[in-house]
Amino acid sequence: MSYKERYHQWLDDNYFDQETKEELESIAGDEAEIEDRFYTDLEFGTGGMRGVIGAGTNRINKYTIRKATQGLANYILKQLERAKDQGVVIAHDSRFKSSEFALETAAVLNGNGIKIYLFSELRPTPELSFAVRELGAAAGIVITASHNPAEYNGYKVYWSDEGQIVPRRAEGITAEIEEITDYTAIKHFNREKAKKEGLFKVIGAEIDDRYIEKLKTLVNNPEVISEIDSDFKIIYTPLHGSGNKLVPRILKEIGFSDVQIVPEQKEPDPNFPTVDYPNPEEKSVFKLALEMAEEEKPDLILGTDPDADRLGLLLRRNDDYISLTGNQIGVLLMDYLLSQRKKQQNLPNNGAVVKTIVTTELARDIAEEYGVGVIDTLTGFKFIGEKIKEFEESNEQEFLFGFEESYGYLAGTFVRDKDAVMAAALVAEMAAYYKAKGLDLYQKLEKLMDRHGYYLDDLESIVLKGKEGQQQIEKILDTLRSQGPKRINGRKVTAVRDYLTGIGDLPKSNVLQFDLEDGSKLTIRPSGTEPKLKLYFTAVGESWKEAENKLSKLKDELLNMVQDII
């Protein structure tokens, strides 16, 4: 069926409501917009679905949500004998239509006889991961678009092991979704009837309490927090998202009494009115927090994205506040947690840190000092969560810490996804610990780099929207595969890894990576959630200045190369 036929089907079929039809009538005559909305189905992948909210098969709306959920229900019922009784946990964040999409998801699952556990209001994504195992559920779904702009929403799926679905499961679910050609065949159940039949259960505070108690078990030095609390101040912003449900609570319950929340960003708001882009990776989102900091002089400024799985921070240095990258926060946390395990003499001989292929190699050098192995996965925290399951089944290694450059961190195994609630507690504890020793986090980072080398990393994203943009992304990667550079920034390319051909035991993925003779590295891949090409840069030097100079030149050269291809 052509995109025009799909468009007219949605306009003419009584299954689609009047609001949807009016939206589609408003774009009549705009061929480019009609094509973009209907030329394909919104892709379901290992991250579930994520897209712009709106009418059409290539948009996220209640109809594409219903279709995805019916496919998921079909898959679950085929894979798990007790799926109906185990149920599915559903959570959502503060985005437009998140609550509505959560209820639509519940109605389709109930229509298939599957019990659901729905959080009473918005909750952090990592708590959804926790709840899946805690309740013994068959799967979990969270309605979120993470840190995307306000016009986006998404649908992220977790399996019974509480980790995000991995490729083989995503492929199975996708196959079931593709079998659905008639929207009217999707099963849909009345909520009141579902409640009477015991298929619809609301959850909330009881799961919060169990999750918080688990988080507290990760704290290493409560006595240090207690001793320094009167001289330690934190400003926190949830960026209008779900973090305010639990981040202030865990900080206070582990001993930090002076935690202030940015008032303008405290309440959930799908417009994210105070920021252009609700992403704690960007220093610009901390503008209001920095204005508060002029008077309050906090030691740390913490921020989480709308679904509270990513944590960014600023730290005070004299009268200024500086940001740390996701890689830098990650290696600091990793070194701190390993050092505490070593101090307590419970660092296992088979311990392992898990990171992604685009995450800093400084982690490997630090881990080696502790006698700990480092395992690389493809980009995406689902692959880190998958490793935890593998370790538990084989007993060959023990998971100690996992992180990725995009501000995601995980300690412990009771959550299987990046967790900003957990990270906020651990970062605050770590900062208090080093402050008691006369150091700030930047000084500690410098000490690590003095010992292991100066690794500086950066990321550039090139936005290429629509069908034409997708073709440009493919052209860039195809050209770099066939005509890849032999030298970059005057350094010889010593290795090229094409993950599309398969590297080791990793799944195939559309990623290219170039190693240079000085230890620098470049990685290129398409985003799995946005219309972007992502370029990762790592420069290694004997000093901060040398690494900065190399990084700048690497970025200029590769970006020029990509622009020439476009």
From 94, 98, 146, 160, the catalytic residue: 146
Q: Is 483 exposed, middle or buried (0-12, 13-18, 19+ CB in 10 A)?
A: exposed
Residue that is written with structure tokens 């009115």 in the block: 273
Q: Cβ–Cβ contacts within 10 Å for residue 467, how many?
A: 15
Q: What is the DSSP letter of 48?
A: B
Q: Cβ–Cβ contacts within 10 Å for residue 184, how many?
A: 8
How is 442-479 classified by DSSP, letter by letter?
A: HHHHHHHHHHH-EEEEEEEEEE--HHHHHHHHHHHHHH
Helix (H) or strand (E) run with residue 158 in it: strand 152-159
Output the CA–CA distances (angstroms, integers) from residue 31 to 4, 60, 538, in the order listed: 9, 20, 42
CB 4 within 8 A of CB 34: yes
How is 490-503 classified by DSSP, letter by letter?
A: TEEEEEEEETTS--
- 2 catalytic? Reply is no
Sign of the alpha-carbon dihedral angle for 64, 66, 67, 71:
positive
How is 179-244 classified by DSSP, letter by letter?
A: T---GGGS----HHHHHHTT-EEEE-HHHHHHHHHHHHTT-S-HHHHHHHGGG--EEEE-TTSGGG
Residue 487's DSSP bridge partners are: 492
CB 511 within 8 A of CB 523: yes
CA 17 – CA 21 distance, rounded (Å): 6
CB 424 within 8 A of CB 315: no
> Closest Cα partner for 537 from 526, 527, 547?
547
Amino acid at the residue 140: G
- For the chain, helix, strand, coil in percent to 5 are 45, 20, 35
CA 135 – CA 85 distance, rounded (Å): 11
CA 516 – CA 2 distance, rounded (Å): 46
Lookup: tokens for 344: 């307590």
Lookup: tokens for 401: 């810490």
CB 128 within 8 A of CB 158: yes
Strands 139-143, 88-92: pairing kind:
parallel
Which of the residues are catalytic?
146
